[in-house]
Amino acid sequence: MADRILPLVCPCLFGEDIRNEPKKLMELTPCKSSTSDDEASSSSLGGRAQGLLGMAMAPVARFQQQRAEEAARRERAAALMDGMNMKLLQSRGSIPVRIALSRDSAMVTYQSLNGTSESGVISLAIVREVKPVVSGGILRSQTPVPMQWMIVADDETLKLEAPTESVKEQWMTTIADLAKRQAEAKVQRKMGYTRKKLHELDERKKEAERRKAEVLKTCGSGGMKHTAAAMMNRR
């Protein structure tokens, strides 16, 4: 203990290093603050929590978006269900008609307004294209004819002239969207029917195998087994 105290009391006896030692003893080693680490950890946890919340809310956001899109689609379809007076364009001239979307959004109907018997129905499930009528030919540039548009189906092409360009765009956009959905629904129905038939065939095969196994259990060996198999394969 004395050898530690004496240099401090009489530093002149021990040189410059001893004079500086009190300063060294008085100097405090800075402590590393945990504030920055806490903030980084808190930020990381907050980011992960926000990410998890976003993942949890994503299905809800998609559902809400789908509901909004479906509501807008129904609103557009309802406007077409009210019908619109247009001109049916034919090779022999134009005929005033009333065109409308059916209440189930599956068909487009038209009926003449001048007393003739011109009328028709087009199923949207067989519509291949909805596009504007264009002028010009192969050697000339084709340009859309104002207010004219057409519905191209598997067995019929309906050319119409709307009263305004905005009405034309409204009908083209809505009919094209509904036709696409009808075609997709048709494909889904076919796929569902195919799956059902395959399931039925599989069940019938399993039932036949089960019956065959039961018959074979009741028969002896040798020819009786072949006879039972032949009986089971007979329709």
**83 and 181 part of one domain:** yes
pTM: 0.56
Question: How high is the pLDDT of residue 10?
Answer: 55
**179 and 92 part of one domain:** yes
CA–CA dist 155, 121 (Å, integer): 11
Is 69 inside any structural domain? no
Domain count, the chain: 2
Question: How high is the pLDDT of residue 28?
Answer: 47
Question: Which residues does 86 contact at the CB level (< 8 Å), separation at least 6?
Answer: 96, 97, 98, 99, 110, 160, 161, 162, 163
State how far Cα 12 lies from the chain centre: 89
Tens digit of each residue's pLDDT (9 = 90 or more) over 170-227: 999 999 999 999 888 777 777 777 788 888 888 888 888 888 888 877 775 555 555 5
* 69, 71, 72, 78 alpha-carbon torsion, rounded to 10°: 140
Is 45 inside any structural domain? no
**83 and 155 part of one domain:** yes
Tens digit of each residue's pLDDT (9 = 90 or more) over 53-73: 777 777 877 878 888 888 888
pLDDT band per the 50, 70, 90 thresholds, residue 7: low
State how far Cα 223 lies from the chain centre: 60
Range of the domain at 91: 79-185
CA–CA dist 94, 159 (Å, integer): 10
Question: How high is the pLDDT of residue 11?
Answer: 55
Question: How high is the pLDDT of residue 190?
Answer: 74
**87 and 159 part of one domain:** yes
Is 147 inside any structural domain? yes
pLDDT at 25 over 50: no
**CATH code, domain carrying 161:** 2.30.29.240
Q: Which residue has the higher pLDDT, 146 or 183?
A: 146
pLDDT at 113 over 60: yes
